[in-house]
A = this chain, B = another copy of it.
Amino acid sequence: MKAVSRIFRALADPTRRQILQELKTGEMAAGEIASRFPISGPSISRHLSILKSADLVSERREGNRILYRLEPEEMANAVGDFLSAVCPTQVLHRRRASRSRKESS
């Protein structure tokens, strides 16, 4: 599956979008993320793995816990590319470290 598709599918779920917003302020452990939602730990874990395989977050273990961190680059590139491809006049996409970027569909 293509990167852009993985990203847009990952963003299709409201819980996952909210997780990204929570991570905006910095790293957070899986458990702490889970505690902020009315759904079970395993379900959140699944959401995190979907976000991770879309490269929207990264994880690192610290002792007992696994800390998740937002990775805004991929999202900004993929979504921004699509947005400026479809409606270039509405959005200014700030390109950065422009290494070979893929198609937007």
Residues of A whose CB lies within 8 Å of any CB of B are 2, 5, 8-9, 11-12, 14, 17-18, 20-21, 24, 70, 72-73, 75-77, 79-80, 82-83, 85-87, 89-94, 96, 104-105
Contacts and interface: CB of A to CB of B under 8 A. Distances in A.
A contact face: mostly helix, strand, loop, or mixed: helix
A96 B77 CA distance: 22
Contact of A76 (B9, B77, B85, B90): B90
A58 to B, nearest CB: 14
Given A77-B90, A91-B93, 16 more contacts: A2-B14, A11-B11, A17-B104, A17-B105, A70-B87, A72-B86, A75-B87, A76-B91, A79-B79, A80-B83, A80-B91, A90-B94, A91-B91, A92-B92, A92-B93, A92-B94
Nearest to A79: B83
